[in-house]
């Protein structure tokens, strides 16, 4: 059977990613915020160490891949100063203290996000009272509610729904089939496809006849430079606002409960859930499948391990794992003790 369109691994397949260049070595070095020996050289793209050719840029940020570095054919490699001497003589060393950040900037130089195609698709449903900047792109079958305001150079994807009164700052991207209601978005916010922002939180009271839903009267405030992954959900506040702090990153399939407040540059990884009214201070990391109960305070730069169950406040800078979550050292001491007990019991049984 013919395998149409298939090929070996390609970085930046032109069918899917716009490309600029070629760029001079000097331009690449400037983009990386790095240093390199002066040399006349044109670079045409980026690629991993294993597949990069003489006209491409690669990087190394993990010593595990030193064998790949030794064998690479890349024209230039972004590396930490400690590894510069490991770069083959056939490659130019682009030296920076932050190779991965340098790589991110160089990759964006060659493959910048496509600009929005200004205009409103004929199939979109736009309320007459909505305000849409002329530079914004409104995709097929998108819905824009009354009094909504769509900012400069924003892109609203196919079948996305923007509720009444929602406001977006400049350069926001709302992915296909996402829905945003009861929310105010800052600049450069990216809502990935299928995400749900601003729906009612999980709030109810017990009455004589059963459950009584409590009106959810708050909003969602998403500050600048936030990304919210595909199929994630952020509930609006009950009486206060739910806040996602500037620069934060939410992975796919994350749940944020009502009244939760994230500080600056927090990271919440896939399938993690944060219950209502919990506060994360700046630079907190919540790993995959972790669960946090409500009304907690998680201190700045705390790190919560994968599948941890957090039921009490966490001090700033603390690393916790397990369920119930506890400091890393205490957790592994307990694991070691249990292993010794189990081993002793097993040996005793054999005797």
pLDDT recorded at residue 3? 45
Q: Is 286 helix (H, G, I), strand (E, B) or coil?
A: strand
Of the candidates 28, 24, 36, which has an alpha carbon nearest to the alpha carbon of residue 81? Answer: 36
Residue 347 has pLDDT above 70, yes or no: no
Catalytic residue, candidates 44, 159, 258, 295? 258
Percent composition of the chain: helix, strand, coil (DSSP 3-state, to 5): 15, 25, 55
pLDDT per residue as tens digits for the range 6-38: 445 678 898 999 999 999 999 999 999 999 999
Q: Average pLDDT, stretch 188-207?
A: 95
pLDDT per residue as tens digits for the range 116-142: 999 999 999 999 999 999 999 999 999
Can you give the pTM of this predicted structure?
Answer: 0.90
Q: Give the Cα separation of 338 and 326 in Å (integer).
A: 16
Degrees, nearest 5: CA angle 148-152-102:
125
Per the prediction, the chain carries an average pLDDT of 94
pLDDT per residue as tens digits for the range 226-250: 999 999 999 999 999 999 999 999 9
Is 23 an active-site residue?
Answer: no
> How many C-beta atoms lie closer than 10 Å to residue 106's C-beta?
28
What percent of the chain stands above pLDDT 90?
Answer: 87
pLDDT per residue as tens digits for the range 244-297: 999 999 999 999 999 999 999 999 999 999 999 999 999 999 999 999 999 999
pLDDT per residue as tens digits for the range 142-175: 999 999 999 999 999 999 999 999 999 999 999 9
Q: Which domains does the chain carry?
A: 23-110 (3.40.1390.10), 178-351 (2.160.10.10)
Residue 2 has pLDDT above 70, yes or no: no
pLDDT recorded at residue 209? 86
Q: Give the Cα separation of 313 and 299 in Å (integer).
A: 8
Contact (Cβ atoms closer than 8 angstroms) between residue 259 and residue 238: yes
Q: Average pLDDT, stretch 65-69?
A: 96
């Amino acid at each position: 059977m013919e395998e149409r369109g298939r090929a070996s691994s390609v970085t930046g397949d032109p069918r899917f990613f716009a490309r600029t260049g070629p760029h001079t070595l000097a331009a690449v070095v400037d983009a990386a915020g790095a240093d390199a020996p002066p040399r006349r050289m044109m670079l045409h793209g980026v690629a991993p160490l294993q597949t990069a050719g003489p006209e491409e840029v690669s990087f190394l940020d993990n010593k595990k891949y030193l064998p790949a570095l030794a064998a690479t054919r890349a024209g230039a490699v972004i590396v930490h100063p400690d590894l510069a001497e490991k770069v083959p003589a056939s490659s130019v060393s682009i030296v920076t203290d932050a190779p991965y950040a340098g790589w991110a900037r160089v990759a964006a130089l060659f493959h910048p996000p496509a600009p929005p195609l200004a205009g409103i698709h004929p199939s979109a449903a736009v309320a007459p009272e909505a305000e849409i900047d002329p530079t914004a792109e409104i995709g097929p079958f998108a819905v824009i509610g009354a009094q909504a305001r769509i900012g400069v150079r924003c892109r609203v994807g196919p079948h996305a729904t923007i509720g009444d009164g929602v406001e977006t700052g400049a350069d926001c991207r709302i992915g296909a089939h996402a829905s945003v209601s009861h929310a105010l978005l800052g600049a450069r916010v990216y809502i990935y496809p299928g995400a749900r922002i601003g729906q009612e939180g999980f709030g109810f009271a017990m009455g004589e006849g059963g459950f009584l839903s409590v009106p959810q009267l708050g909003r969602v405030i998403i500050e600048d430079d936030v990304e919210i992954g595909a199929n994630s959900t952020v509930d609006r506040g009950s009486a206060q606002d739910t806040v996602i702090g500037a620069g934060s990153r939410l992975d796919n399939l994350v749940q944020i409960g009502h009244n939760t407040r994230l500080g600056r540059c927090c990271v919440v990884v896939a399938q993690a859930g944060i219950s209502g009214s919990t506060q994360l201070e700046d630079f907190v990391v919540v790993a995959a499948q972790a669960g946090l109960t409500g009304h907690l305070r998680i201190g700045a730069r705390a790190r919560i391990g994968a599948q941890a169950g957090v039921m009490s406040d966490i001090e700033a800078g603390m690393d916790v794992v397990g369920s119930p979550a506890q400091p890393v050292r205490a957790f592994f001491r307990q694991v070691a003790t249990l292993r010794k007990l189990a081993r002793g019991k097993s040996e005793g049984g054999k005797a």
